Amino acid sequence: MRVLQQFTQVSITAVSLSVYLYSQFTNQIASAAFPAPLRSKQGMVTSAHPLASDAGLQMLKKGGNAVDAAVATTFAISVVEPFSAGIGGGGFLLIYQGKTGKIEALDFRERAPIKASRNMYLDAQGKVRENLSTNGHLAVATPGTVAGLYEVHRKYGKLPWRQIVQPAITLAQDGFILAPKVTPRSITAQEGRKKVILANPAARKIFTRNGDFYQPGEKLVQRDLAQTLTEISRNPQSFYTGGIAKAISSDMAKNGGIVTLQDLKTYKPIWRNPVCGNFRNNRICSMPPPSSGGVHLLQILNIIGETNLQALGWHHPDALHLLVEAMKIAYADRAKLLGDPDFVKVPVAQLISPEYAKIRRQQIDMERAKPSSQVKPADTGLNLKSNIQNPQSKACTEGTECIKNLTSYESQETSHLNVVDGQRNAISLTFTINTGFGAGVVAEGTGILLNNEMDDFAIAPGIPNSYGLVGNEANANAIAPRKTPLSSMTPTIITENGKLRMVTGTPGGSTIITQVLQVVLNVLEYKMNASAAVSAPRIHHQWLPDELRVEAFGLDTMTLQELRRRGHNIVEKPFWGNANIILVNPDGILEGATDTRGEGEPRAF
């Protein structure tokens, strides 16, 4: 028996040494494995689609600033990636002022209609009515994209509004060729949503032909959307008080939706203070609630603390184990404590405090993965000396059907873009219509594909949304009139010694937070260039379901073996996300890249 123990110890030591040497090797070659990033002294745009990046670059070449370019890019994405994001949805942005270093956050997220109610998706027995929060007009929340874009342009834009919207109008009116390369960002990759699209006459007319989506290499023309964008270029308030608003509310009334003219008239974007914290020599700023992104990005970075990940090596098992256990803690806290700060008290300062992170770090066993059932969210008051409370509500405990049936669906939808101009003003913007093709409905005559953002609320205690995220009985993210649903969007701006260092973000549903985390670490800890930082293999854990998701071939066999030995339930998934990034290097040169998982491209001059 003693010989067996000695043999086992030697075997583990040998494996650990091999993993260490391999991680050191991969750390050195990671940046060489991907296309070279784009570099420029002047302005730069990165987005999920080359035509949208072109639209933003046009504004910079015409003398516009980062805001002008970001607005043009966002409108263009609404045309060329309508299944991911658009003017029928909402989002968040961070803006950095090059002269002053000031960072602000704008919330233009969708909001629950006035007629919304906590139990609107439940039947008389309190059970969820299937698909009502994801498909059809009842799933739609009040859109905010147009209001948000107009607000940031009104305050900081330079070029005329009409000029900024024009590239999107042209793309919609003349059409564009769908990329021949099929990726998860292609319309044809949305096969699971085709039935919903075919059920809506207005959507079916635009996106399908003879019962199928338009195919790669074919031209997609959206003339109704071109007319709507033309009206917005003349008068953006038409979306909320004019003809466009009336068309949306009329379509809602005819089809069982609850977004009314009053909802549109009363919608206003909200300027908020970003959440910021320090990591190494950098200041990390991101989106505050009602997004959970910034809070939990900072929380996980705080839990990492002074651990020298670079010395361990990229994707060393110790580093991965620490990241995963920190992710579990953050998502457990998210499920209980995060929501719309205009409706519930969110303990932001406590969650991002180094003191709280130290307590949480002490709960991590570096030799053994803790089952999610034993990872407890903090109590509501977040008393740092109190016991951590039970994470499970009565409606959803380990072993019940709702946990067993937690979906592992990961959306490639949502879209992110970054802009940095010659004066080093910067925009980081993430926007969405939620899942693929949103609610699957187009407001008749407008060409506007509407969101299904109501699904981002906790529609019932312990019931997961489309991304597998859950809440509890007293959930801070319960539905209420005019409330903003919780989000994971994480537009992020990082400074170093008071100067702009990084602008980044990504789509990806519940994986957004962990994606941005790993992009940030790839640059700040592992010294990767822009291209490697956004394209390197990723991992993800979101507390529930209790699984460590890894990309196929993303980790080597020895690392997987070691993580399994520590008790991680590893599940291989197709790749997820579509990050992009702009770095400002110490010599002042901009360096930009888009994720090789998508079809985006950076543009610069």
Per the domain annotation, does 372 fall within a domain? yes
Contact 559, 470 (CB under 8 A): no
- Tens digit of pLDDT for each residue in 304-323? 999 999 999 999 999 999 99
Clarify whether residues 442 and 421 are in a common domain: yes
229 and 301 assigned to the same domain: no
Q: What is the pLDDT of residues 223-267, one digit of tens each?
A: 999 999 999 999 999 999 999 999 999 999 999 999 999 999 999
**CATH code at 319?**
3.60.20.40
Number of H helices, E strands in the chain: 20, 23
Q: Measured in Å, how far apart are the chain's first and last C-alpha atoms? A: 69
**Number of structural domains found in the chain:** 2
DSSP state of 144: -
Q: Looking at the structure, tell me whether residues 439 and 347 fall in a common domain.
A: no
Sign of CA dihedral 289, 283, 74, 416: negative
- Choice between 471 and 559, residue whose per-residue pLDDT is larger: 559
Residues 227 and 285 reside in one and the same domain: no
The pLDDT tens digits for 149-180 are 999 999 999 999 999 999 999 999 999 999 98
Residue 484 lies in a domain: no
Annotated binding site for L-glutamate: 109, 432-434, 456, 487-488, 509
* Count of Cβ atoms closer than 10 Å to residue 354 Cβ: 13
* 434: phi then psi, degrees, rounded to nearest 5: 85, -120
Residue (of 311, 321, 322, 314) closest to 22 by Cα position: 314
Query: Do residues 441 and 374 both lie within one domain?
Result: no
pLDDT digits (tens, 9 = 90+) for 93-137: 999 999 999 999 999 999 999 999 999 999 999 999 999 999 999
Q: Is residue 584 one of the residues assigned to a domain?
A: yes
pLDDT for residue 285: 99
**Helix intervals (H) in 62-183:** 66-80, 145-156, 161-174
Q: Is the pLDDT of residue 28 over 90?
A: no
pLDDT of residue 14: 42
Task: Return phi, psi of residue 16, to 5°.
Answer: -60, -40
Is 109 contained in some domain?
yes
User: Is 244 part of a structural domain of the chain?
Assistant: yes
Decide if 112 contacts 482 (C-beta within 8 A). Answer: yes
What residues form DSSP beta bridges with 107? 92, 270
* pTM as predicted: 0.92
Catalytic residue numbers? 414
What are the binding residues? 109, 432-434, 456, 487-488, 509
CA angle 275, 474, 546 (to 5 degrees): 75
Looking at the structure, do residues 154 and 118 belong to the same domain, yes or no? yes
Domain hosting residue 81, numbered range = 45-271+417-456
Are 156 and 237 members of one domain?
yes
Same domain, 214 and 303: no
Shared domain check, 112 and 70: yes
35 falls within a domain: no
Tracing tokens 């959930």 back to the chain, one arrives at 475
Statement to judge: residues 392 and 353 lie in one domain: yes
Tell me, yes or no, whether 476 lies in a domain: no
Q: List the structure tokens of 541.
A: 């854990």
Can you give the pLDDT at residue 478?
A: 94
Domain boundary among 439, 456, 473: 456
Both structure tokens of 295: 């809070």
Given 403, 433, 456, the domain boundary residue is 456
Q: Are residues 266 and 289 in the same domain?
A: no
Q: State the pLDDT confidence band at 405, using cuts at 50, 70 and 90.
A: very low
Structural domain includes residue 311: yes
Q: How far apart are CA 285 and CA 35, in angstroms?
A: 28
Q: Lowest mean pLDDT of 3-12, 44-53, 64-73, name the range.
A: 3-12
Q: Which residue has the higher pLDDT, 184 or 144?
A: 144
Percent of the chain at pLDDT > 90 equals 83
What value, to the nearest 5°, has the Cα angle with vertex 509 and ends 505 and 512?
35
Let me know whether 76 and 103 are in one domain: yes
Task: Write out pLDDT tens, residues 339-384.
Answer: 999 999 999 999 999 999 999 999 999 999 999 999 999 975 555 4
Q: Go through the chain and tell me how many residues it has.
A: 605
